[in-house]
Structures are given as C-alpha cells and as structure tokens.
Structure 1
Amino acid sequence: MLLACAPAVIVSAVALATLVTGAGATWLPLLAVGPTLAAATNKPSGVLRIGFIAVVLGAVLGGESVRQQAIVLSSLVAVTLASSLASALRTRRERVLEAVRSVAEAAQHALLKPVPATVGAFQVAVSYSAAAAEARIGGDLYALVPTPHGVRLIVGDVRGKGLPAVSTAALVLGIFREAAYDEPDLLDVVARIERSLARNLGADDFVTAVVVGYPAPGRMEVVNCGHAPPLLVRGSGILPVEPTHPAPPLGLSALTDEVPSLQVLPFDDGDQLLLYTDGVTEARNHSREFYPLAEGVARHVSDDPSRTVSALHNELLAHVGGRLHDDAALLLLRKPAAVGSTTVGACRTPAEGRTVCPTEAV
C-alpha cells in the first residue's frame, strides 16, 4: 500500500520543492519519476492518473521559457505513455504467472497428495519446499498410504531438476501407490518400482528412496535404496537407521549385483521416525556448513510431529538465509504412546514416564 502511494508522494514533493525554491526548470523534470515508479506498482489507469497530475503541475509551475516548458511537458507525456505500456505488460505477466501458480498448485495436490495428521496408528507431519522460487513441486517425492498390509510410505529424491524430475517423481509415486496395495511383501513393492524405472528412465537417471512399512504392531520394515538414512527417535536418543546391506538407487540395479534388503526395526509406542531428502542435510549456510539435522531434531523433538517439523523447517530456512537451493522434504512418523504401561519387544512405556529402551544401536 505504501509503495503504491509513493508515486503521488514523489510528484507532490517535486511540486513543493518547485514552489519553495522557485526553480521550475531545475526541479520539474523530476516529475517523470512519478509515472515511472507507478509502472511498477499500479495498473495502467493509475499510471495515467499520476502522469496527468505531473503534466498539469509541469504546465502550472513551468518557467518563463516556452521552449523549456515544452521540453518538460513533452518528456512527461512520453514517459507517462511508456510507463503505461510497461504497466500493462507487467499486469499481463502477473496474470499469466498467477495462472501458472494455480496449475502448479493443482499438480502438487495431484502428485504430492496432502497427508492427514493421523494415518492408521500414526501421527504424521510433512514439510516440503521446492528450490525454484515460483515452483510448488520439484524432484523430491513422498507418499503415505494405509493398505491391507499396514501403513506404507516412501520418501525419495529424483536425480536432476525441472519437468523431467517431476515426471519421474510422478511415475514413482503412481507405481508405489498401486504396488503398496497389491504386494504383501515390501521388497516386492520396491521391485515393481525398479522394473518400471528400468523401462522408462535414461541410462544416467535414478531415484534414491526409502520405502517403509508397518505390517504388525511393534514391527517397522525399512528398505533403503541409496537414500539418506532415516532418523529413529527413541526416548532421548536419536539413531540413524543405516542400511545393513547398502543397495543402489532405484533405476541402477542393472549396474550392480547388490539388491535391496529388508531391515526390521522394533517400533513401539512413543517412537518416531524422520525421513528426509538430501536438500535438508546438504543445505549450507554462509559459512558453507551443512545443516545439522540430528542436532536440530534433538532441539525440537516433541510429542506433536507437526510442531517438530515446523520448527525444523523454520530452522532450516534460517540456516540458509531464507532461500533453499535444492528441494527439501521432511516426513515425521510417530506412534502415540498408549494409555497405561505397555511392553513391546525390548521397550517399555511406563504410564508416568517416557519410553525406555536399551541403548544398543539400530
């Protein structure tokens, strides 16, 4: 609002300076600043109004020299017309950009469907930021679906950026959502994604991903295909879930003998699992230091996943100075603590305290 009023303020200031000093020929050319600035903040009609006021003031306050006054007035008219054209072009581009944004937002909802706060037995929170300033979607992907075989989810990162990366992300998510319902075995879900990518990706393209399933109470299954290890939050400890048998990213299985393996974790009441993409851990500050995600989790972890993820997202933006240079996704899964004392596997949850687990590494 203040910026929109600036052209009128400038024109008024120039007129006042002319009246006070009596130096019309000196100050009046500055009236052209008004319509010029208005082109960046007003519609064409607003620019014409400011220009009309400037021309009138130039005619009233002009000096005795008819020649000088004619030069000033003709300059003001020319600047006003040119500024009106610039304003019209800017307005048109803004309408086009708004249409593109609405399409991008619709594409995001179709591709990265909103995740409810509760899925099955879990509390869930998601944060996603595309690196492109005007984009809503990018090469990072996530999905979480309840299936007959338990809750299943995927977090991944497509090599590259732009529309090709978005297209690959859509392909992976489509296959995952279908296979997650059809395949009882989580490794078969991964195998179906791999086969489809082998048919559709180029030789240098791939997707890193973590696929997770919760088939039975207390049992979490993880398949890591070249992706950053999830963080398991158990009690006061934060443990990276490193793959026991590292596997290549999806789409590269033909280049190696390594195959994805299933890793089973105990996952009990109060436990949390954070999945993320490398846009989070590889975000650098002005000193070129990476964002310390595990330390951030330790600072902000709570019983409310949405609050934890929001705090991590805000801290990440502060770390990089407000602008991410890569797509970044965070997905936090929490198993709410049961009422009363429970014992599942090697962990127990007293009614009055936090989950207590052994200290061995996962």
Structure 2
Amino acid sequence: MSMAPHTRWLWLTALFGLAVATVDLATGSATSLIGTLLVCPLLASTQQGGRATALVSAAALALAIAISVAEDDLEQGDALLRLLVLAMASVYATWVAHRTADHRRQLEQVSQTAQRAIIKPTDFRIGGLEVSARYHSAAALSQIGGDLYAFAHTPMGLRLLIGDVRGKGLPAVHLSAAAIGHFRDAAYTQPDLLDVVRELETRLAGDLGPEDFITAVIAEVAPDHVRLVNCGHHAPLHLPAAGIPALLVPPERTTPIGLAPAPVIQQLPLAEGDRLLFYTDGLAEARDRTGTMPDVQDIASLCTGAASLESALDGVMDAVGRHTRRATSDDIALILLQPAPARVTLPQQGESDGDIDAAAPAGQ
C-alpha cells in the first residue's frame, strides 16, 4: 500500500535526521553536523502544518542535544551556537507552517464555497422528467477544478450542460461560472443545439485563455427522446429498462468548446424506465492503486439497482470512494435522469392542471 504524500515527507525527514546522526557519531567530535539538522524543520514546514512541524523541530533539537552529549561537546561555544541556530530555525519553521496551513484552509474554504454556490446538488421533477445531480470536490486546494453542470427549462424542453474546464483552482471556477451563465442565455434564446454550441463558443472567446478549453455535452431531453451534442467529452451512458447499457459515443468526434468544435446531433428514443447518466472524468478516470478504472457494467448496475435517482448517485459516489480509497485527485460531477413515472396528483383549490409539477430546478 502506498503512503500519502505527507507521510512520505515525514519519513524522508526522519531518515535525513538519522543519517546526519549516524555520520556525525561515526566521524567523532572532530566533525559536527548537527547544524544540518535545521533542514528537518524547514523541510517539514513545506509540507506539514504547525503541529507536525513543531514535533519534527522538537525531535531534531533533541537529536542534536543527544549527539552533543554523546560527543561530550555540549559545553563548547560552537556547539551551543549550532543548537541555538537550530532552535531559532525550528521556531521560525513552525511559525511559517502554521501561517501557511491557516492561509491554505482559508483559500480552500473560499474556493469551495464559490464553487458550491455555482454548482449545487439538486433533485427535481419537471417536464415529465426526474433529474438528480451531484458534485464532489477532491477537496485539496490545488485540485479544486472546473467540473460543471447547469439546467434550463426552455420551450424546447429541458436542456442541460455538463462539462469539464481545463485547469484547476480559482481560474477554472471563474471559467465554469462564465460557461454556466452563457449556456443559460443561449439555451433559452437559440432554437437548435448546434446554435447553442456556436453561441457558447462566441461568448466564451473573451473568457478563454490561449490554452483553455471546455469539454462538454449539451443535451435536450423530453420524456420520449433525447437529443445531444458532444464536444470532446465522455460519452453519456444509456441505461435502458430492457436491454444492454450502452455509451452514446458520437458518430464523429470533435474538439472541445474553445477549439472550434463541429459536433453532430445524436438522437435517441427514451422509454419508461430508461435512465441516462452524464458524468465527468472524475468518474471515468477514477483509478485505484493499481491504475484500474471503474467498470462500466458496475456503474450501470449501481445506477439501475436503486429505486430513486438520489440513492443511485449516492451509491456511485460511495463506490468511487471505495475504488480509489478516497485518493481521487479529480472532482466528480454526475447527472442522472429518467422519464418521470406517471402519477396522479389532485389539484388544490385554485390550481389548474398546468400548475402541477411546475417547480423549477434548484439554481435555475
């Protein structure tokens, strides 16, 4: 089993300290290397928090004192000076580690709050469809990414976007927000999915850097069919009520948004009980310790085995966590939908039949 990066750094620091002590004792009092032990707290401060750095600093100082006692030079001026420098370096390293960890936590909270304000988990029923969406952050500050999804209940039907912005951090969050805003505008005003893609490409030109792009699937879903375009993204998974699960691979692959895509429209009929899973590479490329990615059939069984969409997505998230042992370095965005089962709802007094199921999706 491989160690976490922080644990490896602690072991490296400990091995360095032991190596210094071994060489120093082997060469005798003629050569003193205890001054080099200040590398231990400084090295720890680059990867650890204040508490761990303080422990490493204390261990390094104790080791230096033990070496000085063993070599009987504790009372010599140069040895005391080295110990004093080591102690001062330890205090400074601990202070830096504490400040850095605190700053990192603040940035992480701001970034995650910003991203969750843009992409919120949601469950809704509208236009003869049931929809559930989930987002999971990899949680490390440097890995906060640009996974995104959005919905628009338009006269053409329910339109959705799921995508992945190239890059990490706050720039990716900013670009995700821009893409969602432009998608919602285009989804309501453009009559055709290809027009939505062209509008997104045009509007995002001012937000995309020279090397930026967004892989995306844009879909238009009705209870009896789905139309979609795929711009360099992972193919959605069709889960028929009766039949074999299949990836909706586009007949012609094209580039992501930002790189002049030329997608083609795919259309697929939907039957009662069918489900569609849209996802980002946090699911498609979730590798375990051996580099093995999730099996499509396993994901399909999780999505169809649960009665509710919410339970199905929770099961997928748990399975990914077990598969990667919570070591995934990428965010995950999921959308699962199905034609809504028929239900009978008596209108309340003053309601018309058209008001039933008129709730809008969260965040729309």
The alignment's TM-score, normalised by the length of structure 1, stands at 0.64
Structure 1 residues 239-250: aligned runs within 5 Å: 239-250=246-257
Which of 209, 219, 235 aligns to 1:212? It is 219
Q: CA RMSD in A?
A: 4.5
Question: How far 1:209 sits from its partner (Å)?
Answer: 1.0
Which of 130, 146, 149 aligns to 2:153? It is 146
Letter in structure 2 aligned against 1:210: V
Which of 205, 220, 230 aligns to 2:236? It is 230
Determine whether 1:263 maps to 2:270.
Answer: no
Give, in whole Å, the separation in 2 of the partners of 1:123 and 1:175: 22
Give, in whole Å, the separation in 1 of the partners of 2:99 and 2:131: 44
Letter in structure 1 aligned against 2:233: H
Give, in whole Å, the separation in 1 of the partners of 2:226 and 2:152: 15
SS, match of residue 168 in structure 1: helix
Question: How far 1:76 sits from its partner (Å)?
Answer: 9.0
SS, match of residue 154 in structure 1: strand
Letter in structure 1 aligned against 2:229: V
- Rg comparison, structure with higher value: 1
1:351 — aligned with what? Answer: none
2:337 — aligned with what? Answer: 333
1:92 — aligned with what? Answer: 99
- Residue deviations 1:267-323, cap 9 Å, x none? 53x322111123322233333322213322214531222222222222223323422
Contact 1:127-1:309 at 8 Å conserved across structures:
no
Question: How far 1:241 sits from its partner (Å)?
Answer: 1.8
Question: How far 1:42 sits from its partner (Å)?
Answer: 5.3
**Structure 1: unaligned runs, 5 residues or longer:** 1-35, 341-362
Give, in whole Å, the separation in 2 of the partners of 1:251 and 1:43: 44
2:277 — aligned with what? Answer: 274
Determine whether 1:124 maps to 2:127.
Answer: no
Structure 1 residues 4-43: aligned runs within 5 Å: none
The alpha-carbon distance between structure 1 residues 113 and 329, as it changes in their structure 2 partners (threshold 3 A), is: closer
Give, in whole Å, the separation in 2 of the partners of 1:157 and 1:88: 38
- Residue deviations 1:128-161, cap 9 Å, x none? 334x722573132211233344322111123344
Determine whether 1:252 maps to 2:259.
Answer: yes
Contact 1:232-1:271 at 8 Å conserved across structures:
yes
The alpha-carbon distance between structure 1 residues 119 and 186, as it changes in their structure 2 partners (threshold 3 A), is: farther
Question: How far 1:218 sits from its partner (Å)?
Answer: 2.0
The alpha-carbon distance between structure 1 residues 135 and 142, as it changes in their structure 2 partners (threshold 3 A), is: farther
SS, match of residue 141 in structure 2: coil
The alpha-carbon distance between structure 1 residues 329 and 135, as it changes in their structure 2 partners (threshold 3 A), is: farther
The alpha-carbon distance between structure 1 residues 86 and 119, as it changes in their structure 2 partners (threshold 3 A), is: farther
Question: How far 1:190 sits from its partner (Å)?
Answer: 1.9
Alignment identity in percent?
35
- Residue deviations 1:63-87, cap 9 Å, x none? 9xxx969999999988776655444
1:316 — aligned with what? Answer: 320
Aligned residue-pair number:
297
Contact 2:133-2:335 at 8 Å conserved across structures:
yes
The alpha-carbon distance between structure 1 residues 299 and 151, as it changes in their structure 2 partners (threshold 3 A), is: closer
1:180 — aligned with what? Answer: 187
The alpha-carbon distance between structure 1 residues 78 and 119, as it changes in their structure 2 partners (threshold 3 A), is: farther
**Structure 2: unaligned runs, 5 residues or longer:** 1-40, 345-364
1:292 — aligned with what? Answer: 295
Contact 1:150-1:213 at 8 Å conserved across structures:
yes
1:8 — aligned with what? Answer: none
Question: How far 1:210 sits from its partner (Å)?
Answer: 0.7
Question: How far 1:264 sits from its partner (Å)?
Answer: 4.2
